[in-house]
Chains A and B, each alone.
Chain A
Amino acid sequence: MKNVAFVGLPNTGKSSLISKLTNKELYVANFSGATVEVRKYMMRYHHKEYCLMDIPGTMDLIYQREEEKAIGTVLENERIDLIVQVINSTQLKASLPLTLQLRNLQIPMICLLNFSDEAARNDLHIDTVKLSYRLCVPVLMVSAFNKEDTQRIMDCIEHSEENVVYRPLYNPETDVLFQRYAQIHEMKKAIMLFESHYPQRVLLERERAIESCMRYVTGSMTSSNMKTLKIDQFLLGTLLGKLVIAGSIVFSFIVFLYLGLLLSEVAGSGMDYLSDVLMGRMNPSVFRDFLSDVVFSAMGSLFSFLPLYMSVSAYLAVIEESGMMARFLLLSERMMRSFHFNGKSLISFMIAHGCNVPAVDYASTMEEKQMRLKTILLIPFCSCSARLPVYLMFASVFLKGKAVLCAALLVLLGIFCVLLLSELLECIHPIQSSELPVFELPVYRKVHWHMIIRKIMYQTKGYLVKLFRILFCVFAVVFLMMNVPVDSISLFEWISRHISSLYLPLGFGESWIYTASLLPGIIAKEAVAGTFVMLNTVYPALWIDDLKINLIYLVYVSLSLPCILSCAAIKNKLGSKIMLQSMILSWCISYFVSWLLYQFIMFF
C-alpha cells in the first residue's frame, strides 16, 4: 500500500481533490482551515491500494501554529511514500517556500497546481514543463472540477519514482560549497548541516530559486485581486457595505431556514401520511404498534430533520464558496473578541438558532482547539427553531397577544447565558489574547451548484444511517417505557412521577405531566409541546394554572438538555466525554437559572 500525503497551504483545495479521487464526500470550503485534523481515505487504482492522507493546511514546516503541527506528527509517525503538494495556481509564489522545504525531506513528491480554471480565467499561464524541470518534481495543472484530471493525477501518483534524491536549488557558486557537505554526509543530513552553517546564504538562495521559478509564470492575479479589492472597497470600507454583508448573511440565513422548515413540514407530513396508509392496512397487534411508534416515528423524525439540516448546510456552502464568509468573519472578529469568542463562533451561534446540529458541525472546523470546545459546549444554550413551538404554545395560553414577545425574550435569555458563561469560563481558564489574528481573504468566486450539492451530500451522508440508528434506539426505549406496566401504570408515567420530585424546587415538579413532557424532548424539542397537549387532554386536572410556574417551565425548556441529535453531533465531533460534559453543563445551568427565577418570582 502506498501512503500519499496531501500537503499544501490552507484553502488550496486538498480536500476537494481527495474527494474527487476517492469519490468520497469530504468537507471543503472557500476559507482557510476547513480541515482541522489528519484524515485517511483508502482507495484502489489499477489493483493497487492507496491511502490518501488529508493534512490540514500548512504554511511552513518550521514556523508552525498549534493547529498546523499535524504535518509534523504525520512525518514523524507515519511512513510517507509520496507527498502531493497542492498549490493554488493563482498563488504559486506563496507556495514555493513550502515546496522547497518539502523537497528537502527527500520523499518523492509531485506538485498539483489546482484552480487551473481560475488561472485560465485570469490569463495566468504557468509553463509546467519548465517549472517541473527547474524543481525536478512532476508538476500538473489540475482543477478539482475537471473529471479528466482525476486520471492524470492518479497516473502521476502511480508512476511516481520510489527513490529520489532532491538536490537543493542553489546557484553554481553555492552549489560547489554544498557539494563538500554532500560528499561527506547523506543528502538529508548534508542539507541540514549546510542550512545551519550558512542560514543567510540559504535564505537568499531560496529567494533566488523562487524568483527563477516565477519566470515561468506569465500574467498575474493582479486584475482578479484588484476586482476583489474594488468590491471590498465598498463592502468592507463603507458603513453601507458592512451593513450589506451583515444583512445578506442574516437575510440569506432566514431564507434558507424558512425553506428548510417548510420542507421539514412537508417531509414530516409525508411520513405521517405514509405511516397512516400502511398502518391502516395492518391488523392491530404489538408488531403494528412497534412499527408505527418506533420505525415510522424514527423515520418521521429523521426526515423532518433532514431538510432543515440540508438547507442550513446549503446556506453555509453558499456563503463560504462566494467568499462572503471570510469578510463576515473579519467584520465580526473584533466584536466577538470582546466577548471572548471569534468570528466563527458568531456564525455557529447564528446557525444554532436554526438547528444545533449543523452549528456543532461548523464549530468543529475552528482551528483553535479550546475555542472550538468552548463554542460547542455553549451551542445548546441557543434556542433552536424546534423550541419555538413550545414557547409559543405555552405563552399563547397565558400571555395571548404577547406570546411572540415572550418567545423572543426566551431566545435572548439563551444568548445572555452564552455571554455570561463565556465570561465565567474566561475568568476560570483564559484561552485567548485580545489581539486580532491576521486574516487571508479569498477572492470572490462564482458559486458552483455541484459544489453546493457535494457539500450537502457530504454533510448529510455521514448522518443518515447514524442518526436513524440513534433515533430508532431512543424510540424503542420510549415504546418499551410506554408499554411495560409498573404498579398498574406505565413505566413512562412511573418514571415521570418519580423524577418530578426533583423539580419541586422549580415549582412545576408538583405536576408529573410537566416532567413527563420533558422526556420526549430528548428526542426532539418539538415533542415537548405535543406530549404536553396529549397528557393534558388525559389529565386536565394536573395543569398548573399559574403564569409564574409556566414561565419557569419555559425557561427550563429553553436552556435544558440538547436533543439527542445535537448530543450525537457533539459525540461525533468531540467524543462521548465532552458530550456528557455538555449535557451536565446545560442541565445544571437550566436548573440553576430556573431555580433562581423561581426564588425571585416567589419573593414578590
Chain B
Amino acid sequence: MRLSQVRKKGKVKIESIDQSLKERLSVFGIKEGCFVFVSSIRSCGYHVVICDDRLVALPYHVLKGMTI
C-alpha cells in the first residue's frame, strides 16, 4: 500500500522507498524499515509525518513513492 493512500493517522512501517527518493529522504531520517507517525495534517500538497522526533512535511509525489 502506498503511503499516499493512508487516510488514518498512526504509526506505519516504511517497507520500500523509490530509488529516486531514497537519497532525499535519508537526510530526514526516513529510510526503508523505519517507523513514521502519519498525522492527519494535509495541507497545500503536503502531508506531515513524524520520524525520529522530527516533524517532516512530505509532498504527495513523495508519499506516492513510499510503500508501507
Contact = CB atoms under 8 A, between A and B. Distances in A.
B12 interface: no
A233 B55 CA distance: 13
B6 to A, nearest CB: 16
A443 B59 CA distance: 19
Interface in B33-66: 39-46, 48, 50, 52-59, 61-62
A94 B52 CA distance: 6
Contacts of A436: 45-46, 59, 61
B55 A333 contact: no
Most A C-beta atoms less than 10 A away, residue of B28, B39, B41: B41
Given A437-B59, A438-B59, A439-B56, A236 B48 contact: yes
A90 interface: yes
B50 A233 contact: no
Instruction: Place the interface of chain B in its size category.
Output: 20 to 34
B27 interface: yes
B17 to A, nearest CB: 12
B23 A63 contact: yes
A438 B48 contact: no
Contacts of B3: none
A437 B43 CA distance: 14
A59 B28 contact: yes
Contact of A440 (B24, B45, B56): B56
B48 A441 contact: yes
Contact of B43 (A91, A242, A335, A440): A242
B10 interface: no
B28 A222 contact: no
Nearest to B46: A330
Contacts of A220: 53
Given A435-B61, A437-B59, A60 B41 contact: no
B5 interface: no
B66 to A, nearest CB: 12
A440 B41 contact: no
Nearest to A335: B44
Given A236-B43, A237-B40, A334-B44, A63 B26 contact: yes
Contact of B46 (A59, A94, A439): A439
A225 interface: yes
Most A C-beta atoms less than 10 A away, residue of B23, B29, B58, B61: B29
A334 to B, nearest CB: 5
A65 B46 CA distance: 21
Contacts of A93: 29, 52-53
A91 B27 CA distance: 13
B21 to A, nearest CB: 9
A91 B53 CA distance: 6
Nearest to A443: B55
A221 interface: yes
List the 9 shortest-distance A-B pairs measured between CB atoms, nearest first. Answer: A59-B27, A436-B59, A439-B57, A441-B55, A221-B53, A236-B43, A94-B52, A93-B52, A94-B29
5 contacts: A220-B53, A228-B55, A229-B50, A331-B44, A441-B57
Interface of A: 59-60, 63, 65, 90-94, 97, 220-222, 225, 228-229, 232-233, 236-237, 242, 330-331, 333-335, 435-443
Interface of B: 23-29, 39-46, 48, 50, 52-59, 61-62
Given A242-B43, A438-B24, 13 more contacts: A63-B23, A91-B52, A92-B53, A97-B29, A225-B55, A229-B50, A236-B44, A436-B45, A438-B62, A439-B57, A440-B54, A441-B56, A441-B57
